[in-house]
A and B are shown apart, each in its own frame.
Chain A
Amino acid sequence: DAGITQSPRHKVTETGTPVTLRCHQTENHRYMYWYRQDPGHGLRLIHYSYGVKDTDKGEVSDGYSVSRSKTEDFLLTLESATSSQTSVYFCAISDGPNTGELFFGEGSRLTVL
């Protein structure tokens, strides 16, 4: 498996609190992505990064922000968590814009009460 670790793996929080999920890679891949996975919706792209400090929005970016200060770390922040953000979050990496394959992390299960 590609060297991708997500933390925390499980988190329960309350509505209105800030939450940060971390993705760390050891593959030196340029591209990093955050997806959310929900029943009936498959995988939906939240934000992605194409380099240090270079990020862009995905399909479902409202309520989320990201930061990438180092090649190996990509952070996803929920400034004020809502129950609709209860989901499983997957980080993924790829080594180029045209290489296709995504390598996913193990996922982070977030529950917002």
Chain B
Amino acid sequence: GENVEQHPSTLSVQEGDSAVIKCTYSDSASNYFPWYKQELGKRPQLIIDIRSNVGEKKDQRIAVTLNKTAKHFSLHITETQPEDSAVYFCAASIGAGANNLFFGTGTRLTVIP
């Protein structure tokens, strides 16, 4: 199956700075790449996703970029705020079905006020 690696495992930034989380995947057939945010003690929630026919997608302060040739994708958060502190998971799948969805190991982001 697909192997998704995520880095870094922990990330601390000052409020207002940018944060970047990177993921690589192994199966070149993967074509759907979601990002989930999990606040402490809460359920994971989708924050943004991208499909392989798109190189970049933005939603306010968050953006995701995809490089299919290199098989890596990244989450960018600009102007970080304390409420951005959470664990972020990347994932990859062949098709959008979750039965083929493989998650990375997570990045704990801490935004320091």
A interface residue numbers (CB < 8 A to B): 1, 31, 33, 40-45, 48, 50, 56, 58-59, 90, 92, 94, 97-102, 104-107
Contact between chains at B99 and A100 (CB < 8 Å):
no
Task: Knowing A48-B99, A97-B95, A100-B96 are in contact, say whether A90-B44 is a contact too (CB < 8 A).
Answer: yes
Q: Which residues of B31-90 have CB atoms within 8 Å of chain A's CB atoms?
A: 32, 34, 36, 42-46, 49, 89
Q: Say whether A99 contacts B89, CB under 8 Å.
A: no
* CB atoms of A101 and B34 under 8 A apart: yes
Mark each residue of chain B from 97 to 113: 1 if its CB lies under 8 Å from any CB of chain A, else 0. 11101111110000000
Whether A104 lies near B32 (C-beta < 8 A) is: no
CB distance from B88 to the nearest CB of A (A): 11
Contact A100 B105 (CB under 8 A): no
- Tell me whether A106 and B43 are in contact (CB under 8 A): yes
Q: Which residues of B contact A90 (CB under 8 A)?
A: 43-44
Residues of chain B with a CB closer than 8 A to A106's CB: 42-43
Q: Which B residues are CB-close (under 8 A) to A1? A: 43
**Neighbouring B residues of A45 by C-beta, 8 Å:** 98-99, 101
- B91 / chain A contacts, CB cutoff of 8 Å: 43
10 contacts between A and B (CB under 8 A): A33-B99, A40-B105, A43-B103, A59-B102, A97-B95, A97-B96, A98-B97, A100-B96, A101-B49, A107-B43
A42 touches B89 (CB 8 A): yes
Residue in A closest to B93 when the chains form the complex, CB atoms:
A100
Query: B99 is contacted by which of A41, A56, A107 (Cβ under 8 Å)?
Result: A56
Known: A42-B89, A59-B1, A90-B44. A100 touches B49 (CB 8 A): yes
CB-nearest residue of chain A relative to B95?
A98
Q: Which of A58, A98, A100, A104 contacts B44 (CB 8 A)?
A: A104
Residues A31 and B98 in contact in the complex (CB < 8 Å), given A42-B104, A43-B89: yes
Which residues of B are found within 8 Å of A102, using beta-carbon distances? 36, 44, 46, 98, 101
Do A42 and B105 contact each other (CB < 8 Å), given the known contacts A31-B98, A97-B97, A100-B96?
Answer: yes
